A and B are shown apart, each in its own frame.
Chain A
Amino acid sequence: MTGRVAWRRLSRAAGAGTTSSLDDVTDAAIDPPIHRALGLTDAELDDIRAILGREPNHLELAMYAVMWSEHCSYKSSRLHLKRLPTTGEGVLVGPGENAGVMDVGDGIAAAIRIESHNHPSFIEPYQGAATGVGGILRDIFTMGARPIAVMDPLRFGPLSDARSRWVAEGVVSGISGYGNSVGVPTVGGEVVFDECYQGNPLVNVLCLGVLPTERLVLGAATGIGNLAVLLGSTTGRDGIGGVSVLASAGFDEADEAKRPSVQVGDPFEEKRLIEACLTLLDAGLVVGIQDLGGAGLTCAASETASRGGVGMDFDVAAVPRREKGMAPFEVMTSESQERMLAIVTPEGLDEVLRLCERWEVLATVVGRVTEPPADGQGRLRILDGFDGDVLADVPASSLHDAAPLYDRPRKEPADRAQRLAEQPAAPAATASIEAALLDLLCDTSWVSSQYDHQLFLNTVEGPGGDAVVLRLKHPTTGVDTGRGLALTTDGNHRWCAIDPRQGTAMTVAESVLNLACVGARPIAVVNCLNFGNPEHPEVMWQLSEAIDGMADACRALGLPVIGGNVSLYNESKGIDIDPTPVIGLLGVVDRLERRPPGVGLVAGHRVVLLGDDLQGSAPSLAGSSVAWSSGQKGGTLPPLDLATHSRVAELVRARVSEGRLSGVHDVSAGGLALALGELAVRSGIGVEIAGLPSSAHLFAESPSRVVACVAPDAVEALLAAAAAAGIAAVELGSAGGDRLAIRDTTGAPLVDLLLSDAVTTWRDRLPNALGEGVIQA
C-alpha cells in the first residue's frame, strides 16, 4: 500500500463530516496496520503509546506520522549533524530555527536558509519549484527579515533526455513565475546536468533576508492567554502528508499517483502575506511567528508551543477551509501554501485584524496559549470548537523532541579501494581536447534571464559570475552602508562520489574562493545535503563522511554552519543519486566602492594562474568533468590543503578589493580549460596561452587555484605578492585576438579554436536544447 492510499484510507475512516473524539479510540490494528502505511514503524507506534499512555487515535497518529517523518524529524541525520561547528563571531541564530541569522554590522542582521524541493519538482515541475520558493521566503520573513534575494542551485538529468528537458523548463518557469511575481529577486544559482539526476532532479533554493537587529523574532509562543492567529490562505486538501508521502520516500513506478501531494502556489497571496507580516512586526504586534510548511498546522502549533515551553488549545473548527467535508486530520496536516501562524496578545488583536484587512490577508484566531501542567510538558490539544470535544491531546514537545533518532548502519562501498586506484586519462589529440572543451561551455543566461535579478537596486554582481554581490542597505531606513553582502552556492557530485569527505571539503573551499573572486570574506555556511536512501548503508556512509568533510573544512576556515536542510531518499527505481551536498556561503564586502572585475578579459592584459605553477607530475583527473563524461568515474582526488587555500583566497580577495585585477575566475569544475574558456567567451576577448605541460593540466580540477587578468605592468607585483604569501603562481599568456589558443611546452597546440565558434557553442547550448518558447504551466 502506498502512503497516498493510506492517507485516503484515513480520510474514509474519519467519515464525511464526522469527527472522532478521544472517547472513540479507533482501531489502529486494522489490517494492514494504518501506522505502517503512514510511514511509522511498529517501534515508533510503541513510542507513541508510551508517550500517551494509551492508543493514539487516527488524528494523533496522523500528527505523529508527519512530525516524525524523515523530512520533519531528521531522524537519520540528526546524530551526524551534531558534529558540525555552529558557533562563531556574529552568529545570532544557529541551526534549529527557521533560518540562521548573522550580525552583519550597522544594526543589520542577515537571515539565510537553504531548502530542497526535489521530489515535488519531479512530479510537477512548475508548482514544485514555485512552492519551494514560497516556502523558503516564509522561513525568512518568519525571522522578521525582508527577503532580498533568492538563489536556485538546480540539477537535472541530461539534456538528451526528454523528461529531463520538461522538468528543467517547468522548474525554471515555476521559479520565474512565482519568484518574479512575489517580488523577491532571484540573483543566481547553479544549473547542472548529469545522468544521476534523470529520475530525481535536485531543486534547491536559498533565500537571504535582512532585518534590523533589534527586530529579530523567534517562532515561540509565550504568554498564557495569548492568541494564535492563522494568517493567509484558506486550508485545502493539497499536500496532505506531503512530508511523508513525497519527501521521505524514493520514487517508484507509481510516482504519478503522488501528484495530489504537490501543493499549488499563489505568489500574490504570498506577497500580501509578506507585507502584512512585516507590517505587524514593525508595529510590534507579534510575540512569536511561525510559517506553515511541511506538516502544516501540526508543525506550526506544536513548534511554537514547545519552543515557548507552553501548551496550546487549537480550535480546528475555526480554520478557514477551501473545501467542504475536511476531516480534522486533513486540516491539521494539510500543506496548503501561503499561511503563517502569529502569536499575538488579546489587546493587540483588533489592530492585527485591521492591518491584515488592509493587506487583504485573512486572519483568524485558531489557538490559545495555555499553561503547562505541573510536569512542565505543555499539551497540544486539538478541539472541535474552543469549548467542544477534545479530538487530540498530546505533549506538544513530544512531536519534536521525542522523535526517533536513528544511528542507521553505515558501510563503505565494497569496491572503494579498487575505485580509488583507478587513474582516469585526459584526451590527448588536439581535436578531442577541443571537443572536450567545447562540450564544457554552457551559458546559463537562458535560465537567469527569466528571473528578475535586479529588484531592490542591490544587485552589483548578478547571475553567471563566481558569486553574487548585493549592496547592503538598512532594511527600514534604506541607508546605504557602503558595504556589500556576497553569496554563492556550490555543489559537485563528481568529487563527492569519488570521496564524499574530501569532495565536500573541496566544495566548501570552492565557495570561499568564489567569494574571494568578488572581494568578499566569508562569514557563514548553510548547507543542503541531497543524498539517496538512508536505509542503504552506503548512503549513510556518504552522508556521515560528507558531514565530517564539511566540519573539517569549516573549522579550518573558521566558518560556522548556521543552518541546513537534509534531503534523503533521492533515488529512482532503487538507484541513489550521487551524493550532492550543496553549500551556500554568505560573505561580506567591507568596502563596496566598485564592481568586482568579474569573469572576463581585457585585450592586451596578461593572464596569470595563482595557486599553481604547473610544475611537477600530471595532476589527478579523478572527479573531473572530463573524466566523468568519458565514463571514468574512479581515481583519487587531487590533494586539498586548507591552509594554502586560505592564503590563496586572501590574496585574491585583497587584490580584487584593491581594484588591481581586470578579470578573475576561480578554477573549478572543468579545470583550467573551462576557466580560460569562460573568461574568453564571456568577454568576447581571445586568449593566447603557452607552456602547458599536458592536457591533464588543462582538465584537472585541483583546488585552490584562480586565473587572474592583469595589466602588463602589474604582473610582476602580482607574482611578487603571491611569492610573499607562499603561493605558487605562473604567468600563462595574454588576452586578446580572436582565438582561444593553448600551447604545450614545445609550442604545439593543445587547443586552437576560433573564439566566435566557442561563443556560439556556449551561447546556444541551452536555447537549442530547451527551445526559445516556454509555455507557462
Chain B
Amino acid sequence: MAPRVGVVLFPGSNCELDVLEAVRLLGGEGEILWHGDDALGGVDAVVVPGGFAHGDYLRPGAIARFSPVMGAVTKFAADGGPVVGICNGFQVLTEAGLLPGALQKNRGLKFVCGPAQLRVESDQSVLTSGVKSGTLLEVPINHFEGNYTCSPETLAQLRDEDRIVLRYVRNPNGSMDDIAGITNGGRNVVGLMPHPERATSELLGSTDGLLLLQSLLQAASGRVAA
C-alpha cells in the first residue's frame, strides 16, 4: 500500500500543490490537511509546506502554531510520526516548539530565490536517511526569513547530537553555522529552508530533491507496515 502523506494547508500557504505533485511522482498518496481540522485522518507522514501561513502576520509561523491542526501534528510527532517542515513550514515548526531555534530575516535584508548547494551532514533523520553524509545536493531556496539562529547551548547540543542534517556550501542568508536544516531529538521531525519539491525534474534543473523526499516516503512506508 502506498504511504499517505498529509500536506497541511493554512490560509496563505502556497507550496501545498507542489509538495503533493512531488509525493505523487514518487508513488506516494498525497492529501491536504485543512488547518482548521484537529485530526490528521490517519496519514503516515506530515509535510508543513512553504508559503505565508496566515500572511506571516506578526512573524512567520507565529499565528499558524495556534491553528487546530498543529495540536494534532504535535501529537503525531510525539508518537514518532515523520514530520517535515519546508521553508515557511520550518518556521511554523520552530514557532510550535517542535524544533529549536528561530528563523530571522536574511542578512542581506532581501528575499532570495535561486539554486543553493547543500551538503548532507547526517543521514540520521526521516528526510536524509537515504542519502550518504557528505553528499552534495542542488536544491532551490526561496525565502526572506531563512537566517537560522539559536542559543550557543542549543547550537552545541545540535552539533553534539548530530542533528544538523543539511548545511549550505555557500551561506546565502547569514544562517548560523551555515545551517539549512535540522532535526529533533527523535529524528522524526525535520525542518529545512530549501525546497526539495522544486528539485524533482530535469526540466526544472535538478532532481536532487527526490533523494530527500524518497527518504520521507520510506519513513512513511515504515508507518504503513507498522
List A residues at the B interface (Cβ < 8 Å): 176-177, 180-181, 183, 266-269, 271-272, 275, 358-360, 445, 448-457, 459-460, 471, 478, 592, 594-595, 772-776
Contact = CB atoms under 8 A, between A and B. Distances in A.
B76 interface: no
B177 interface: no
Contacts of A775: 109
Contacts of B203: 460, 471, 592, 594-595
B146 interface: no
Interface stretch (B53-61, B90-98, B126-134, B185-193): B53-61
A772 B52 contact: no
Given A271-B52, A478-B21, A455 B109 contact: no
A269 B12 CA distance: 9
Interface stretch (B111-119, B148-156, B162-170, B217-225): B111-119
Interface string B98-120: 00000000001111111000000
Contacts of B15: 455
Contacts of A445: 114
B198 interface: yes
B198 A181 contact: no
Contacts of B197: 457
Nearest to B200: A457
Nearest to B14: A183
Those 7 A-B pairs whose CB atoms lie nearest each other, nearest first: A268-B55, A183-B14, A773-B109, A181-B52, A450-B111, A176-B111, A460-B203
A450 B110 contact: yes
A268 B110 contact: no
Nearest to B34: A358
Contact of A180 (B21, B111, B195): B111
B11 interface: yes
Contact of A268 (B12, B142, B204, B205): B12
Nearest to B142: A452
A478 B57 CA distance: 30
A266 B21 CA distance: 28
Contacts of A449: 110-114
Contact of B14 (A271, A448, A453): A271
A445 B112 CA distance: 10
A454 B112 contact: no
A183 B52 contact: yes
A455 B205 contact: no
Given A454-B204, A457-B200, A457-B204, A268 B109 contact: no
B187 to A, nearest CB: 28
A478 B23 CA distance: 13
A452 B109 contact: no
B40 to A, nearest CB: 19
B17 A478 contact: yes
B60 to A, nearest CB: 11
Contacts of B14: 183, 271, 455
20 contacts: A180-B144, A183-B52, A267-B52, A272-B11, A272-B12, A449-B110, A449-B112, A450-B111, A450-B112, A450-B113, A452-B113, A454-B140, A454-B195, A457-B197, A457-B200, A478-B21, A594-B202, A594-B203, A773-B108, A774-B109
Interface in B35-60: 36, 51-52, 54-57
A448 B21 CA distance: 25
A512 B22 CA distance: 34
Given A268-B54, A457-B197, A478-B21, 9 more contacts: A180-B111, A180-B113, A268-B12, A268-B55, A360-B11, A449-B113, A454-B142, A457-B22, A774-B109
B175 to A, nearest CB: 16
A774 B109 CA distance: 6
Contacts of B200: 457
A592 B114 CA distance: 22
Contacts of B195: 454
B45 to A, nearest CB: 20
Contacts of B202: 594-595
- How many chain B residues sit at the interface, stated as a range, is 35 or more
A454 B108 contact: no
A246 B64 CA distance: 39
B201 interface: yes
B178 interface: no
A275 B11 CA distance: 9
Contacts of B113: 180, 448-454
A100 B133 CA distance: 51
Nearest to B11: A272
B64 to A, nearest CB: 12
Nearest to B105: A776
A774 B17 contact: no
A469 to B, nearest CB: 9
A66 B55 CA distance: 32
B138 interface: no
A266 B144 CA distance: 17
B18 A455 contact: yes
B52 A774 contact: no
Contacts of B36: 358
Contacts of A268: 11-12, 52, 54-57
B162 to A, nearest CB: 31
A451 B111 CA distance: 7
Nearest to A179: B111
Given A267-B55, A456-B18, A359 B109 contact: no
A456 B109 CA distance: 25
Contacts of B205: 595
Nearest to B15: A455
B55 A181 contact: yes
Contacts of B18: 455-457
B12 A457 contact: no
A1 B143 CA distance: 46
A455 B197 CA distance: 10
A172 to B, nearest CB: 9
Contacts of B142: 180, 452, 454-455
Contacts of B54: 268
A775 B36 CA distance: 34
B195 to A, nearest CB: 8
Contacts of A358: 36
Contacts of B114: 445, 449
Nearest to A183: B14
Contacts of B12: 181, 183, 268, 271-272
A12 to B, nearest CB: 36
A341 B35 CA distance: 27
Contacts of B57: 268
A747 B22 CA distance: 55
Contacts of B51: 183
